[in-house]
Structure 1
Amino acid sequence: MSASAERVAPIEVAVVVLPESSIMSLASVLDPMRAANRAAGRQVFRWRLLSGEGQAVMLTCGIPIAVDGRFSSPLAGDVLLVIGGFNLERHAGRRFFATLQECARHFDIVAGIESGCWLLGRSGLLNGRKATAHWEELEDFGQAFPELTVIGDRFVTDGKYWTSGGASPTFDMMLHLITERLGPALALDVASIFVYDQMHSPTDVQPFVSLGRLEVRDPELAGAIRLMERTIERPMTIAALARRLAVSQRKLEQLFARGLSISPGAYYLRLRLQVAHRLVRDSGISMRDIALRCGFDSLSAFSRAYRREYGASPLRMRSANHAASLSKAIHT
């Protein structure tokens, strides 16, 4: 074990979790620390779980998470991790931001996880710094905070302020923290406990589609999917895709049929509609702008394709999702 892993005092971590956060993001924070304690054979991390009001937090999966107390001053330690999810405006008011601004002064590292990056941005803590957000929100995040340098990396560290773009990047970020504070050998032990065999660096780009072993097993198919990702806003014809990939259109069709049991055109449309579906449900962006972002040249063409895929118009889907969110908020 490295000398840094032999420090006597545990690393003190405060984890602030907001309602409607993802259980995977929370697990990506807590389990690496738990595993580090196990692998080190002693308590190298000690954490407290906090919420805005000190009450249990309901996650998006419907599971309530008990906390150790309320997020309030005075609070100090080594690492402050803020996990946010949906509907931040309901769960973080002026008092929350004042507490965040005050407490951030007393931690060596302050990290925004998932929508936690928005909380750090709105608090002014990220002004003049580099930061990231989940790939679905990168453009909106950059427009909301023009004083930031927003980049699409898996996670970003700029001085004491860190941001991550999702659950898996958060796991990478925690491994990075373990490497920095406790040494690479312990980080490798933690990754091995979870059979996590691809440790990412901060500057790895966030993909729209997680390809896993496909990139090794079928690199031509993976390359085609990555090209589709990059051209969602201005989709290419299948013939043009094939030319860009230096394969025949027939071979491209065979790659998709063999690897995914779908035609390249159908997959391309499905990918665009999946991005649109997330924006319809989870953002306030106008339908016309969503259509343009996802490569549809008219709102009517977008609505028809969306209805065929999801069984309802995008407006009806947004209204139903909004009503469900309000009902959930009233009953929690």
Structure 2
Amino acid sequence: MRMIANRSPQSSIEVVVVVLPESSIMSFASVLDPMRAANRVAGHEVFRWRLLSADGQAVMLTCGVPIAVDGSFTLPVVGDLLLIIGGFNLHRHAGKRFLATLQECARHFDIVAGVESGCWLLGRSGLINGRKATAHWEELEDFSQAFPELEVIGDRFVIDGKYWTSGGASPTFDMMLHLVAERLGPALALDVASIFVYDQMHGPTDVQPFVSLGRIEARDPELAAAIRLMERTLERPMTVAALARRLSVSQRKLETLFAKGLSTSPGAYYLRLRLQVAHRLVRDTGIPMRDIALRCGFDSLSAFSRAYRREYRTSALKMRSARGAGVTPDASDKG
């Protein structure tokens, strides 16, 4: 095995990408396309990759697109960089045999990375015990509780020795650009980013935001600061007056900022943000409804239920049961 940092400029980095069913096409593309673009910009095959699945069969992504693979994730598998891309329902797609294979294969790679829910597989395998790691911001608290031996931090991606973890599709793109910069230099990494018109490269210690503000942060920093404050206080939401005081602006100015920038009021946006987080927890986790209500700043389950129904036109319980059955709940259902 050749150490990535010490190889000759013309040699290829051997990459193995293991993709599990119900993964995100965005995360999948964020892994592959930066490598493809780096090969194009460099003018030779810097990265050479193979796609594997747990059983060697094509993998169906969450968007319904099947991904053909080159083989199954079985021993022996060796290379320089091993990337595990995971999504929903890991317990269905990666059992004890998968974890045993991961434990053994990790010994033969210079870098082992968990992408999206792939970080959970690194945690379950024990490979990152005692290390720093991250997960998608929706799952950070659950990830930390599931693996108390880890130092879980909310950065976009985390590098601790040979183990890398990323918190979502965009952070994975940043992580791959970081790899390109390390291997080929920052100038070429900028060229790769430019191919995708990606004009803000993030470092590993940049914090994962709940809301992607885009150009709002530069165009209207006061509005951006208000949204970031709302993100930090979801469990204990503040009054609009208290928000204004913390931001050192008048309540009237705060209301004007939201009216001009987002065509809504601060209170309405704050409530919507809390419900969006709650909605993801309802759909994608088994966390009890009462705990979701508390996490999202509702002082009672009944208050949460009323607000959820007003926003999504169905009950949180029916949304969860429908998602579990793989169907879309009927928004007109009044039950």
TM range (shorter): over 0.9
User: Once the two structures are superposed, what CA deviation does each residue of 1:140-178 show, in whole Å capped at 9, x if it has no partner?
Assistant: 000000000000000000000000000000000001111
Q: Secondary structure at the match of 2:80?
A: strand
For 2:95 and 2:6, locate their aligned partners in 1 and report how far apart those are by CA, in whole Å: 39
1:100, CA displacement in angstroms? 0.3
Q: Match for residue 151 of structure 1?
A: 153
Identity %: 84
Answer yes or no: is 1:96 the counterpart of 2:98: yes
| Aligned counterpart, 2:50 | 48
Partners of 1:46 and 1:160 lie apart in 2 by 19
Say whether the 8 Å CA contact 2:10–2:44 is kept in structure 1: no
Give me the whole-angstrom Cα distance separating, in 1, the residues matched to 2:297 and 2:198.
35
Of 139, 142, 166, 1:140 maps to 142
Aligned counterpart, 2:125: 123
Structure 2 unpaired stretches of 5+? 329-335
TM-superposed deviation, 1:127: 0.1
Task: Output aligned runs, 1:61-80, within 5 Å.
Answer: 61-80=63-82
Q: CA deviation at 1:4?
A: 7.6
- Equivalent in the alignment of 1:330: none
CA contact (8 A) 2:274 2:296 kept: yes
Would you say the 8 A contact 1:4–1:183 is kept in 2? no
Count residues with an aligned counterpart.
Answer: 324
Matched, 1:165 2:167: yes
User: Is the aligned partner of 1:187 residue 2:186?
Assistant: no
Whole-Å separation in 1 of the counterparts to 2:285 and 2:175 = 26
Aligned to 1:57: 59
1:1-332 residue pairs with structure 2 within 5 A? 7-324=9-326
Contact 1:215 1:222 in 2 (8 A): yes
Determine the C-alpha separation between the residues in 2 that align with 1:105 and 1:146: 24
1:325 to partner: Cα distance:
6.8
Inter-partner Cα distance in structure 2 for 1:181 and 1:99: 27
SS in structure 2 opposite 1:209? coil
- 1:4–1:182 CA contact under 8 A, matched in 2: no
Using the TM superposition, give the Cα deviation of residue 195 of structure 1 relative to its aligned residue in structure 2, in angstroms: 1.2
Structure 1 residues 146 and 312: CA distance shift in structure 2, 3 A: same
CA–CA distance in structure 2, aligned partners of residues 260 and 149 of structure 1: 36
**In structure 2, the residue corresponding to 1:215 is in which secondary structure?**
helix
For residues 106-150 of structure 1, give each alpha carbon's deviation from its aligned partner in whole angstroms, at most 9, with x where no partner exists: 000000000000000000001000000000000000000000000
Conserved 8 A contact 1:5-1:182: no
Q: Which residue type is aligned with residue 324 of structure 1? A: G
On the 8 A contact 1:5/1:44 being kept in 2, the answer is no
Q: Pairwise CA RMSD of aligned residues?
A: 1.3
Contact 1:74/1:103 (CA < 8 Å) preserved in 2?
yes
Following TM superposition, by how much is the alpha carbon of 1:7 offset from its aligned partner in structure 2, in angstroms? Answer: 1.9
Equivalent residues of 1:4, 1:181 under 8 A apart: no
Q: How far is the alpha carbon of 1:8 from its aligned partner?
A: 2.6
The residue type equivalent to 2:247 in the other structure is L
The letter for the 2-side match of 1:241 is L
Question: What is the rounded CA distance, in whole Å, between the counterparts of 2:121 and 2:259 in structure 1?
Answer: 44
> Offset of 1:6 from its aligned partner?
5.6
SS of residue paired to 1:77: coil
After TM superposition, the score normalised by the length of structure 2 is 0.95
Counterparts of 1:9 and 1:60, CA distance in 2: 35
TM-score under structure 1 normalisation? 0.96
1:35-62 CA-partner distances (Å, limit 9, x unpaired) = 0000000100000000000000000000
CA contact (8 A) 2:234 2:296 kept: yes
